[in-house]
Structure 1
Amino acid sequence: MNQHTDINEVRAFHARLMAVASGSRDHRLERIFESVPREAFLGAGPWKIMVNNRYVETPSVDPVYLYQNILVGLDPAKGINNGEPFLHARWIGAVAPKSGETIVHIGAGVGYYTAILSMLSLPDGSVHAFEIEASLARRALDTLKPFEGVTVIQGDATRLPLPSCDLIYVNAGVVSSPGPWLKALRVGGRIIFPWRPSQQLGAALMMTRTEAGFTVQFLGPAWFIPCVGASDPEGCVTPPSLSQVRTVRAAWLIEDKTPDDTAIAVCRDVWFSDRAG
Structure 2
Amino acid sequence: MNLGRIGLGCMALTGIYGTVPRERAIALIHRALDLGVSHFDTAELYGPYANEELLAEALSPKNHDVVIATKFGYRLDGGKIVGLDSSPAKIRSAVEGSLRRLRRDRIDILYQHRQDPAIPVEDVVGAMSDLVRQGMIRAGGLCAVNPKILQRAETVAPIEFIQNEYSLINRAPEDDLLPHLGPDAVRFVCYSPLGRGILTGNAYPLSDLSDYRRNDARFEADNLLVLRERLRALWEIAKAHAAPPAAVALAWLLSRRPNVHVIPGPKTVDQLEDCLSAAHLSLSCSDLAQLDNWAT
Please, what TM-score do these two structures have when normalized by structure 1?
A: 0.30
Q: Point out which structure has higher relative CO (alpha carbons under 8 A, 6+ apart).
A: 2
Give the structure with the higher percent helix: 2
